[in-house]
Amino acid sequence: MAEAAADDRPEKEAPGAADPVRALLDATGDAFCIYDAETARILEANGKLLELFDCAREELDRLQPGEALPEGEGSAAERTLRLVRLAAAGQTQRVEWATRKRTGEGLRLEAQLCRVELGGQVRVLALVRDISARVAAEDRLRVRERDLRNLIENVPGLVYRCEVDPPWRMLYMSEGVQAVAGRPAEAFVSGDIPFADIVLAEDLPALVRRTAEGVERREPYQVEFRIRLPDGALRWVFARAQATYDPDGKPVFLDGVILDITDRKSAEATGRQARELYRLIAENASDMISVHDEMGIYLYASPSSARLIGYAPEELAGRSAFDFIHPDDQASIERHRADTVSGHVQHAVRYRLLAKNGSWVWVETLSRPLPRTETDPANRILAATRDIGERVQAEEALRESEEQYRTLYAVMDEGFVLHQLVRDANRTVVDYRILDANPSFTRLTEIERERAVGRLATEVYGVTPAPFLELYARVCESGHPEWFEAYFEPLKKHFSISVFSPHPDIFATVFYDITARKKAEHEAREERLRAQQYLDIAAVVLVALDREGRVTLINRCGLELLGYAREELLGQDWFGRCLSEKVREGERRAFAERMAGRSAPTTHYEGVVVARDGRERRIAWRSVLLHDNEGRVVGTLSSGEDVTEHRKVEERLRQTEKMSAIGQLAGGVAHDFNNQLAAIQGYADLLHSRLDDPVLKRYTESILVASRRSADLTRQLLAFARKGQYRSLVVDLHEIVHEVVGILERSIDKRIRIRQHLDASPSTVLGDPSQLQNALLNLGLNARDAMPDGGDLVIATDVRDLDVAFARESPYEVVPGKYLQIRVTDTGIGMSREVQEHLFEPFFTTKEQGKGTGMGLAAVYGTVKNHHGFIEVSSRLGQGTTVELFIPLHEAPAEREERGAVSAIPAHRTARILVVDDEAMIRDLAAEMLRALGHQVATCQDGEEAIAYYRQHWRQTDLVILDMVMPGRSGRDTFLDLRRINPAIQALLSSGFSVDGEAQKILDEGVRGFLQKPYTFKDLSTKVGELLVGS
pLDDT of residue 1022: 87
Three-class HEC string of 405-450: HHHHHHCCCCEEEEEEEEECCCCCEEEEEEEEECHHHHHHHCCCHH
* Res 405 pLDDT > 50: no
Instruction: Write down which residue in 242, 270, 298 finishes a domain.
Output: 270
- Tens of pLDDT along 949-982? 999 999 999 999 998 888 888 888 999 999 999 9
* Res 360 pLDDT > 70: yes
Higher pLDDT residue, 832 or 231?
Answer: 231
Dihedral pair phi/psi, residue 767, rounded to 5°: 175, -165
Report the CATH number at residue 263. Answer: 3.30.450.20
Question: Looking at the structure, do residues 796 and 933 belong to the same domain, yes or no?
Answer: no
* Amino acid sitting at position 25: L
Q: Is residue 764 assigned to a domain?
A: yes
Instruction: Write down which residue in 642, 669, 690 finishes a domain.
Output: 642
Mean pLDDT of the region 34-61: 81
* Res 989 pLDDT > 80: yes
Q: Is residue 143 assigned to a domain?
A: no
Mean pLDDT of the region 102-121: 84
Percent of the chain exceeding pLDDT 90 equals 27
pLDDT of residue 856: 59
Question: Looking at the structure, do residues 399 and 347 belong to the same domain, yes or no?
Answer: yes
* Res 60 pLDDT > 60: yes
pLDDT of residue 12: 39
Question: Looking at the structure, do residues 944 and 1010 belong to the same domain, yes or no?
Answer: yes
Question: Looking at the structure, do residues 28 and 160 belong to the same domain, yes or no?
Answer: no
Q: Is residue 144 assigned to a domain?
A: no
Signed CA dihedral, 748, 751, 752, 754: sign only: positive
Could you tell me the residue range of the domain that residue 1010 belongs to? 912-1030
Where does residue 741 fall: left (phi above 0), alpha (psi -120 to 50 degrees), or beta otherwise? alpha
Kind and range of the H or E element at 191? none
Nearest to 940 by CA among 920, 954, 958: 920
pLDDT of residue 378: 75
Q: Identify the band that residue 45 occupies on the pLDDT scale cut at 50, 70 and 90.
A: confident
Q: Identify the band that residue 17 occupies on the pLDDT scale cut at 50, 70 and 90.
A: very low
- Tens of pLDDT along 649-664? 666 656 555 555 555 5
* Res 850 pLDDT > 50: no
Higher pLDDT residue, 645 or 916?
Answer: 916
Nearest to 178 by CA among 278, 255, 260: 260
User: Crossing angle of helices 644-690/920-932, nearest 10°?
Assistant: 40
Q: Is residue 135 assigned to a domain?
A: no
Prediction pTM value = 0.33
Number of C-beta neighbours around residue 320 at 10 A: 14
Higher pLDDT residue, 667 or 327?
Answer: 327
Contact status, residue 162 vs residue 136, Cβ threshold 8 Å? no
Return d(Cα 862, Cα 813) in angstroms, integer: 14
Q: Is residue 657 assigned to a domain?
A: no
CB within 8 A of 272, min separation 6: which ones? 263, 264, 266, 514, 516, 517, 520, 521
Contact status, residue 630 vs residue 269, Cβ threshold 8 Å? yes
CA distances from 557 to 539, 578, 640, 643 (A): 6, 15, 10, 14
- Weakest mean pLDDT among 101-105, 149-153, 976-980: 149-153
Question: Looking at the structure, do residues 855 and 930 belong to the same domain, yes or no?
Answer: no
Question: Looking at the structure, do residues 443 and 330 belong to the same domain, yes or no?
Answer: no
- Weakest mean pLDDT among 111-115, 562-566, 770-774, 1022-1026: 770-774
Q: Identify the band that residue 948 occupies on the pLDDT scale cut at 50, 70 and 90.
A: very high
Please report the beta strands in 529-627, taking only residues with DSSP state E, as ranges in sequence order.
541-546, 551-554, 602-610, 616-627
Question: Looking at the structure, do residues 732 and 774 belong to the same domain, yes or no?
Answer: yes
CA distances from 91 to 95, 221, 308 (A): 13, 59, 45
Report the domain count for the chain. Answer: 7
* Res 52 pLDDT > 60: yes
Report the CATH number at residue 983. Answer: 3.40.50.2300
pLDDT of residue 471: 94
| Torsion angle in degrees (nearest 10) through CA of 770, 776, 778, 781 | -130
Mean pLDDT of the region 110-114: 89
Contact status, residue 140 vs residue 391, Cβ threshold 8 Å? yes
pLDDT of residue 390: 64
Q: Is residue 147 assigned to a domain?
A: no
CB within 8 A of 545, min separation 6: which ones? 551, 552, 574, 591, 635, 636, 638
Mean pLDDT of the region 22-31: 62
Contact status, residue 305 vs residue 291, Cβ threshold 8 Å? no
Question: Looking at the structure, do residues 1023 and 931 belong to the same domain, yes or no?
Answer: yes
Q: Is residue 826 assigned to a domain?
A: yes
Higher pLDDT residue, 714 or 929?
Answer: 929
Q: Identify the band that residue 1014 occupies on the pLDDT scale cut at 50, 70 and 90.
A: confident
Mean pLDDT of the region 717-731: 59
Tallying the residues shown for the chain, one arrives at 1031
- Tens of pLDDT along 676-705? 777 787 788 778 778 888 878 787 877 877
Percent of the chain exceeding pLDDT 70 equals 81
- Tens of pLDDT along 615-636? 888 888 988 998 888 888 999 9
Question: Looking at the structure, do residues 736 and 842 belong to the same domain, yes or no?
Answer: yes
3-state DSSP assignment of residue 29: coil
3-state DSSP assignment of residue 215: helix
pLDDT of residue 672: 65
Mean pLDDT of the region 829-841: 76
User: Crossing angle of helices 644-690/694-720, nearest 10°?
Assistant: 160
pLDDT of residue 906: 46
pLDDT of residue 786: 86
Question: Looking at the structure, do residues 329 and 390 belong to the same domain, yes or no?
Answer: yes
Nearest to 507 by CA among 431, 398, 561: 431
Higher pLDDT residue, 792 or 14?
Answer: 792
CA distances from 1000 to 728, 974, 1013 (A): 8, 16, 16
| Torsion angle in degrees (nearest 10) through CA of 1001, 1007, 1008, 1010 | -60
pLDDT of residue 400: 58
* Res 846 pLDDT > 80: no
pLDDT of residue 653: 58
- Tens of pLDDT along 553-588? 888 888 988 999 989 999 999 999 999 888 899 999
Signed CA dihedral, 962, 966, 968, 971: sign only: positive
Contact status, residue 83 vs residue 103, Cβ threshold 8 Å? no
Beta-bridge mates of residue 228: 234
Return d(Cα 224, Cα 235) in angstroms, integer: 11
pLDDT of residue 546: 93
* Res 508 pLDDT > 90: yes
pLDDT of residue 644: 80
Contact status, residue 742 vs residue 883, Cβ threshold 8 Å? no
Three-class HEC string of 93-116: EEEEEEEECCCCCEEEEEEEEEEE
Nearest to 820 by CA among 768, 771, 752, 869: 869
Question: Looking at the structure, do residues 921 and 1001 belong to the same domain, yes or no?
Answer: yes
Higher pLDDT residue, 482 or 837?
Answer: 482
CA distances from 376 to 290, 368, 371, 372, 380 (A): 18, 17, 10, 6, 9
List, in sequence order, the alpha helices (H) in 317-424: 330-342, 392-410
Mean pLDDT of the region 634-642: 89
Contact status, residue 220 vs residue 229, Cβ threshold 8 Å? no
pLDDT of residue 334: 87
Mean pLDDT of the region 86-95: 89
Which span out of 95-104, 652-661, 781-790 was modeled with the highest average pLDDT? 781-790
Question: Looking at the structure, do residues 187 and 327 belong to the same domain, yes or no?
Answer: no
- Tens of pLDDT along 120-148? 888 998 888 888 888 888 888 787 777 76
Q: Identify the band that residue 669 occupies on the pLDDT scale cut at 50, 70 and 90.
A: low
Q: Identify the band that residue 3 occupies on the pLDDT scale cut at 50, 70 and 90.
A: very low
Q: Is residue 874 assigned to a domain?
A: yes
State the chain's mean pLDDT as an integer.
81
Instruction: Write down which residue in 608, 627, 642 finishes a domain.
Output: 642
* Res 899 pLDDT > 60: no
